[in-house]
Structure 1
Amino acid sequence: MKVQLKFNAKSYSSSQLVLISAFKIKDKDEASLTGWPADFQAAFTLLKNSKNFKAKMGQIFYFSLADGTTVAALGMGEKSKATWENLRTAMANIYKASKNSYTDMSINLDSFMLKSNLEKTVYTINEALLLTAYTFDKYLSKKDESILKTITLDSKLPKSKDRKAAKALQDSTNVIESVNIARDYVNEPPNVLHSESYAKLIEKDAKKIKGVKVKIFGKPELKKEKMGMFLSVNAGSAHQPRMVQLTYTPPKATKKPKHICFVGKGLTFDTGGYSLKPGGSMMNMKYDMAGSATVYGAFRAAALLGVNAKITCLLGMTDNAINEFATVPDSIVTARNGKTVEILNTDAEGRLVLGDVLSFASDLKPDCIIDAATLTGAVLVALGHEICGVMGNNQKLIDNILKSTKNADEHAWQLPIIAPFREDMKSKIADLKNIGGSRFGGSAKAAAFLENFVDPKIPWAHLDIAGCGDSQSHLAYCPPKGPSGCMIRSLVDFIANGKI
């Protein structure tokens, strides 16, 4: 699907469907059609006389012009109360209502303008359309393809406004294409996407991006790095482990740029190991690499935007499987930073991979580290599917991430790492153990474990996306099932706005 701009438009584009907004008059049960183009004034009386259409959020009223063009008036509620999330929802709803009925559509951009902000209006409309249009039908023999191929954003504003609007359109395309690529990776079945093939996919995609370098660590390199925790998870796998290191350097930095390091958990499938998951809990464990897809999506988008920051992205990839060599409970392994860890539960494996990669990240001495992982079921109990759990060692960093989630209209909440949680992760026969003494406070206790592998002088934040990474069914622009791509847009905002 192509979204394009048309400025200095004398009339609406010649499309099968023309979309225009209708805002509700405050304290009245009727629509305001202020700002409608002259072409549509003939329909004003028809709409005014409608007893059912009150321009409430989500309402759609269809009518035909004299030339046979179909027009849809889209209810947006009261304009003073309209938000960017309202605009996303409205665009998602009209796309879903139109995708199988029309081949092209034009949107009257001027009527949808919010807060007199042309660039953000264009950005948000395109963002919503591309998010909603996402499908993963690669393995379907019969595909349900949308026939809606072209959407034109019409405006009577002068062509002088076109440059900034075009940049907003391209920027949002870069970000949402990165979100959707991340969703593709998460959707791939585990017999196709394993550590070796996943690393190749990332390498192939990243090498196309200006300013990006890729380095892949195999098992010999991970042994050389003494990543004992990471390798213990891979011990039962038929596939070699991988750590992918991606580095983006801004091409025209006038001074030394800030350096951010992303770390992602890439468990391509999690059986639980010898602490075997029951059958129902093993379903969808291909999603256990969503943290790596999330940070790669954010890295990719930021690089395409050409942000003025150095970004390193480290992805730890393996599956957690069982064979005669697989790690058994009660094992003790040595982490990259020299700490010993008692593995009491092989199903608490993501923190073992992340810990060694976080240690590697710390040695790079970045200005901050942010990791993302589908780490605990406990975060789902605490915050549901709708909210990302945020933890870390630096309040300023956490506050800036939370600000970015508000800018992106994503939801996150800080969970505390407190002294009793740190104490609970200590072992009597090793430095640490990989699970706490009880199931309570599991998300923050996992973060307390990870904290041991981060240089305390480096600001660090941990994003537990085990809930929000899947099934954001409350959002009109997300599918009812499947990966959401959550937190990518927030992380891009964090980098792009210089909040490092």
Structure 2
Amino acid sequence: MEFSLRTADATTAKTACLVIVAAEGKLTGVANAVDKATNGTLTALVKSGDFSGKKGEQLLLPVTNGLGAQRVLLVGAGKDALNDQGFIKLVKAAAKKLVALKVKDALLCVEDLDVTGRDMAWRAQQAARLCGEAVYQFTKFKSKKPPKVALKKVTLQSSKGSATIKNALANGRAIASGVNLARELGDLPGNACDPSYMATRGRAFAKNNPKVTTKVLDEKQMKALGMNSLLSVSAGSDNPGKTVIVEYKGGKKTDKPVVLIGKGVTFDSGGISLKPGQSMDEMKYDMGGSATVYGTMQTVIEMGLPINLVAIVGCVENMPSGKATKPGDIVTSMSGLTIEVLNTDAEGRLVLCDCMTYAERYKPQAVIDVATLTGAIIIGLGHHPTAIYSNNDELSEQLVAAGNESADRGWPMPLWDEYGEELKSPFADLQNIGAGRAGGSITAAAFLAKFATKYNWAHLDIAGTFWNSGANKGATGRPVPMLVEYLSKVAK
């Protein structure tokens, strides 16, 4: 999608749809200018009760005499100032309406909105991201393809031209690109998106890009490295596991990289500890961490951030078979720590821990793993924030701040020694689950913490935020915006 900035009078703009956000009880800025240009049309609509300006209200005007636009979409902003989430909800609804109207272009006016603590650059970036996300379609497996989204261009109205705002629009577009890549990978079924497919997509980053290199480790190479914990998860599948390493060298050679690690369980049956059948189809989303890491890499490359970034994606399929790992089996991880596998459905941590040990060779400034790790986190936090665990307070605070700035929120969780005590095994160095169901997300993070002793590390549990169920079933692409915001700050 194309984004641009317009500073000329909005009433003369030649556009398929002019989107005006009007507050309740008063017409200001562009809304007032449109009212004058149309001889009091908006005032008449307010007086007749057809439009009040209440938050979330929408009214389409197909006839716009006096304007350059073919039609006008009025969006109510309510009486009070909007917060971040209120702004996002409003713009998202407007973008959805533009897609439904099948217009090819639109002029979006959000400058007159009162958004608490947010300048025009922030609004511009969010608007571009949300409009870019609104055009996402997943129709690959439809025998009769629905019409492609018509919306190709969105122009943002601003009273002043600014390189900062133009850059914000470009960044918003790049973030939407990464979010939509993560959504696409997540929405693919397990029979299309297996470890080999993820390796192919990883190699694509390096095509015609001298700043990017990709390496794929097969099972023989992983065995030689001692990555037996990861391999224990793929043991039951006919689809061999892969570890994909994508390196982006956008910074100086001497700059230590940030390493992102993604859980790439392309389908999780639970293995021998078989999951219940209900909603098992959604376990195609268990590679959400790897999809997020790929999406973040996509955005970083598009933005050309001056940073060194390494993506490590451990891709496996967790299936039951005669070769599958059994509850009670003991494996030796790449770090040398032995693990008693009490539950084969607690497999994501077995994949991540070997990738975390592999990350040590980069001497990173920070390592962040991203994983749809535990259903327990949904009980604790619901579907609104991503859970943040870390062995470094500063890193945790940076990620929380990045989530607040990007409106892709995260919440810090405890990682006390007491939780690690629950992982003691009588037969191995540790077991892969805690003593019981209580605090399941925390004990999972505590397990990973034992493999993060040589660098600053954070773990993002995205089981509650990467996909939606029900009528709106589909991947969300979170937390790509949070990670891009964090990396942007690191790059500066």
Residues 1:65 and 2:64 are matched in the alignment: yes
Which deviates further from its counterpart, 53-62 or 237-246? 53-62
In 1: Cα distance, 2:440 partner to 2:158 partner? 55
Does structure 2 retain, via aligned residues, the 8 Å contact 1:178–1:301?
A: yes
In 1: Cα distance, 2:152 partner to 2:353 partner? 46
In 2: Cα distance, 1:365 partner to 1:258 partner? 7
- CA apart distance, 1:113: 5.7
Amino acid paired to 2:94: I
Alignment gaps of 5+ in structure 1 = 25-29, 474-478
Residues 1:493 and 2:492 are matched in the alignment: no
Does structure 2 retain, via aligned residues, the 8 Å contact 1:175–1:489?
A: yes
Amino acid paired to 1:95: A
Query: Which of 355, 358, 361 is 1:360 aligned to?
Result: 358
Query: Which of 26, 31, 51 is 2:26 aligned to?
Result: 31
Which deviates further from its counterpart, 482-491 or 15-24? 15-24
In 2: Cα distance, 1:233 partner to 1:3 partner? 44
The answer for the alignment partner of 2:448 in structure 1 is 450
- CA apart distance, 1:258: 4.3
- CA apart distance, 1:146: 5.4
Does structure 2 retain, via aligned residues, the 8 Å contact 1:108–1:154?
A: yes
Does structure 2 retain, via aligned residues, the 8 Å contact 1:248–1:311?
A: yes
Which deviates further from its counterpart, 83-92 or 131-140? 83-92
- CA apart distance, 1:247: 0.9
- CA apart distance, 1:384: 1.2
Amino acid paired to 2:218: G
The answer for the alignment partner of 1:203 in structure 2 is 203
- CA apart distance, 1:67: 5.5
Does structure 2 retain, via aligned residues, the 8 Å contact 1:98–1:148?
A: no
Does structure 2 retain, via aligned residues, the 8 Å contact 1:471–1:483?
A: yes
Does structure 2 retain, via aligned residues, the 8 Å contact 1:400–1:499?
A: no
Q: Secondary structure at the match of 1:314?
A: strand
Query: Which of 411, 414, 417 is 2:412 aligned to?
Result: 414
In 2: Cα distance, 1:326 partner to 1:194 partner? 17
Q: Secondary structure at the match of 2:490?
A: coil
Amino acid paired to 2:26: A
In 2: Cα distance, 1:472 partner to 1:13 partner? 40
Which deviates further from its counterpart, 384-393 or 111-120? 111-120
User: In percent, how many aligned pairs have the same letter?
Assistant: 31
- CA apart distance, 1:453: 1.2
The answer for the alignment partner of 2:77 in structure 1 is 76
In 2: Cα distance, 1:100 partner to 1:94 partner? 10
Q: Secondary structure at the match of 2:441?
A: helix
Q: Secondary structure at the match of 1:337?
A: coil
- CA apart distance, 1:340: 0.8
The answer for the alignment partner of 1:185 in structure 2 is 185
Amino acid paired to 1:224: A
Query: Which of 340, 345, 348 is 2:346 aligned to?
Result: 348
Q: TM-score, normalised by structure 2?
A: 0.92
The answer for the alignment partner of 1:434 in structure 2 is 432
- CA apart distance, 1:8: 3.2
Does structure 2 retain, via aligned residues, the 8 Å contact 1:13–1:154?
A: no
- CA apart distance, 1:291: 0.6
Pairwise CA RMSD of aligned residues?
Answer: 2.4
Does structure 1 retain, via aligned residues, the 8 Å contact 2:387–2:410?
A: yes
Amino acid paired to 1:280: Q
In 1: Cα distance, 2:459 partner to 2:242 partner? 21
The answer for the alignment partner of 1:476 in structure 2 is none
Between Structure 1 and Structure 2, how many residues are aligned? 484
Amino acid paired to 2:191: N
1:286-297 aligned within 5 A = 286-297=284-295
- CA apart distance, 1:61: 2.9
Amino acid paired to 2:146: D
In 1: Cα distance, 2:402 partner to 2:469 partner? 19
In 1: Cα distance, 2:310 partner to 2:329 partner? 32
In 1: Cα distance, 2:110 partner to 2:90 partner? 15
Does structure 2 retain, via aligned residues, the 8 Å contact 1:99–1:146?
A: no
Query: Which of 136, 140, 158 is 2:142 aligned to?
Result: 140
The answer for the alignment partner of 1:466 in structure 2 is 463
Does structure 1 retain, via aligned residues, the 8 Å contact 2:256–2:363?
A: no
In 2: Cα distance, 1:270 partner to 1:222 partner? 21
Does structure 1 retain, via aligned residues, the 8 Å contact 2:109–2:157?
A: yes
Amino acid paired to 1:435: I
The answer for the alignment partner of 1:149 in structure 2 is 151
Does structure 2 retain, via aligned residues, the 8 Å contact 1:387–1:413?
A: yes
CA deviations on 1:10-58 (whole Å, 9 max, x unpaired) are 743223322112123xxxxx23334433534532431341324221211
The answer for the alignment partner of 1:220 in structure 2 is 220
CA deviations on 1:336-389 (whole Å, 9 max, x unpaired) are 011111111111111111011111112321011100111111111111122211
Which deviates further from its counterpart, 271-280 or 35-44? 35-44
Q: Secondary structure at the match of 2:132?
A: helix
In 2: Cα distance, 1:472 partner to 1:86 partner? 23
Which deviates further from its counterpart, 107-116 or 464-473? 107-116
User: For residues 349 and 45 of structure 1, do their structure 2 counterparts lie closer, same or farther at Cα, with a shift above 3 Å needed?
Assistant: closer
In 1: Cα distance, 2:86 partner to 2:185 partner? 29
In 2: Cα distance, 1:40 partner to 1:154 partner? 21
In 1: Cα distance, 2:404 partner to 2:120 partner? 20
- CA apart distance, 1:281: 4.8
In 2: Cα distance, 1:110 partner to 1:235 partner? 53
The answer for the alignment partner of 1:117 in structure 2 is 119
The answer for the alignment partner of 1:266 in structure 2 is 264
User: For residues 222 and 156 of structure 1, do their structure 2 counterparts lie closer, same or farther at Cα, with a shift above 3 Å needed?
Assistant: closer
Q: Secondary structure at the match of 1:284?
A: helix
User: For residues 143 and 39 of structure 1, do their structure 2 counterparts lie closer, same or farther at Cα, with a shift above 3 Å needed?
Assistant: farther
Q: Secondary structure at the match of 2:368?
A: strand
Q: Secondary structure at the match of 2:78?
A: strand
Q: TM-score, normalised by structure 1?
A: 0.90
Q: Secondary structure at the match of 1:185?
A: helix
In 2: Cα distance, 1:467 partner to 1:165 partner? 33
Alignment gaps of 5+ in structure 2 = none
Does structure 1 retain, via aligned residues, the 8 Å contact 2:205–2:214?
A: no
Amino acid paired to 2:77: M
Does structure 2 retain, via aligned residues, the 8 Å contact 1:366–1:458?
A: yes
Which deviates further from its counterpart, 64-73 or 188-197? 64-73
Which deviates further from its counterpart, 395-404 or 7-16? 7-16
Amino acid paired to 2:71: T
